[in-house]
Structure 1
Amino acid sequence: MRAKILVTGGNRGIGLAIATALAEQEYEVLLGCRDILEGVQAAANIRGSVFPVHLDLSNPVNLSLQVEKLLSIHPRIDGLVNNAGVLDKTQTSELNAAQMVSSMQVNCFAAHELMRQLVPLMNQRAYGRVVNVSSGWGSFNEGLQGPTAYSVSKAALNALTLSWSKSSEKGVLINSMCPGWVKTRMGGDDAELAPEEAAKTALWLINAEEDGPNGGFFRNQKAIDW
């Protein structure tokens, strides 16, 4: 039985590159997207077993119900790539609470909800892989250089990764990664990396052996500091 991986934000950019690479490696891919029509179009262009699923990360109540529905159809999900994210560039002094909550919801709280529902099932089967797509802008070691809402929410995602990794059973690996500066709608045309290059670390973590890393932060398949 082929492993089944859920990728959020899978209809474009890094998520699409990850989903495509996973399908090429003969994983079954659940392509999570806010706009199901975009997901259907993206899935149609990928060779392999790819199934678009509707997930709206911006609404916590809807997301919880959507994940419950997803599990009723796909009760065994072996891997999760929390890739979807938002970049709010509002300056710190002008950033209001609602904007902070919005960034935290998509970039951190939604990842927690997905892990809350999926990781216990992975623990029961003693197998699972979770990859949280974070950013160097969420690293204290690198100075939280990005816009405040984005940096703080990604730093929180890193903290969440470490916390969840401590509750995972043997065989379940939970890690964060920084894809680098990538040519996507978020990263812009001047970015250094193609999405396919950025996806390599996610693939490496998904394919990790049982004794692979757990609770780490990686870029270019190498550990980096929080």
Structure 2
Amino acid sequence: MVIEDNQHLTYGPYKLVQINNAGVNFNYGSDNQLEFAEQVITTNYFGTKNIIKAMIPLMRPNASGARIVNVSSRLGRLNGKRNRIGDLTLRHQLEDVDSLSEELIDKTVNTFLEQVKDGSWTSGKWPQTCADYSMSKLAVNAYTRLMAKMLSDRPEGQKIYINCYCPGWVKTAMTGWAGHTSPEDGADTGVWLALLPDPDQLVTGKFFSERREISF
């Protein structure tokens, strides 16, 4: 198990950046022991959500636009070929940013946890690889899109840009040192998103890997 702390970073006199890198995982490879599912969801999703809510009022207006970067994972993709939600109705609801809500995201992870507790999760069409971790990152991705929509109505000078990214299979204790990406390379896209120049390259509500946009 590895828990990485949230970091709050100020870069220069004008750029305010929040990087959410809190993460916990108890499984490796396709292992699906769900003994700690509630802790994984609480740390990875609810922890990230709560720190974003707490920090937004403190992210005072600045000329460059404040940035929020959420460290996520491809395992949380809605339309991943091998590890996606099998319930088409739910998947389409989570895809539709116009109707996406915090209530829907919370209900999704809470339903998953309820089914984990009663043993019915295997028939619930949830991701089958690192299911608890995958669900936590799916929720982070969805919440990133939701917050991007909510923050997009702010006037110029008060905007907050929020994106998420997958660092890859990084060689750290979280992967049992089995990753193939160095921590430095894993952090590269997050730093790039945090420091994108203004104004034409700024994006919000997107998912990235290796400095390229990928699908949710």
Q: What TM-score comes out, normalization by structure 1 length?
A: 0.61
CA deviation string 1:107-130 (max 9, x = no partner): 011111111011233365573111
Alpha-carbon spacing, 1:137–1:113, altered in 2? closer, same or farther (3 Å): same
Other-structure match for 1:187: 175
Other-structure match for 2:18: 80
Other-structure match for 2:97: none
Other-structure match for 2:137: 154
Q: Note if contact 1:89-1:148 (Cα within 8 Å) is conserved in structure 2.
A: no
Alpha-carbon spacing, 1:224–1:106, altered in 2? closer, same or farther (3 Å): same
Greater Cα shift, 154-163 or 136-145: 136-145
Q: Note if contact 2:4-2:24 (Cα within 8 Å) is conserved in structure 1.
A: no
User: Equivalent pairs: percent with the same residue?
Assistant: 35
Deviation at 1:149, TM superposition (A): 0.6
Alpha-carbon spacing, 1:105–1:95, altered in 2? closer, same or farther (3 Å): same
Q: What TM-score comes out, normalization by structure 2 length?
A: 0.64
Other-structure match for 1:176: 164
CA deviation string 1:181-213 (max 9, x = no partner): 111001233311110011110111100234411
Q: Note if contact 2:164-2:206 (Cα within 8 Å) is conserved in structure 1.
A: yes
Other-structure match for 2:72: 134
Task: Give the alignment partner of residue 197 of structure 1, picking from 182, 185, 188.
Answer: 185
In structure 2, runs of 5+ residues without a counterpart are 84-127
Q: Note if contact 1:89-1:149 (Cα within 8 Å) is conserved in structure 2.
A: no
**In structure 1, how many angstroms separate the alpha carbons of the residues matched to 2:174 and 2:77?**
18
**In structure 1, how many angstroms separate the alpha carbons of the residues matched to 2:60 and 2:37?**
32
Other-structure match for 1:112: 49
Other-structure match for 1:100: 37
The alignment's C-alpha RMSD in Å is: 2.9
Please give the secondary structure, in 2, of the residue aligned with 1:161.
helix
**In structure 2, how many angstroms separate the alpha carbons of the residues matched to 1:136 and 1:165?**
19
In structure 1, runs of 5+ residues without a counterpart are 1-7, 29-75
Please give the secondary structure, in 2, of the residue aligned with 1:117.
helix
Larger radius of gyration: 2
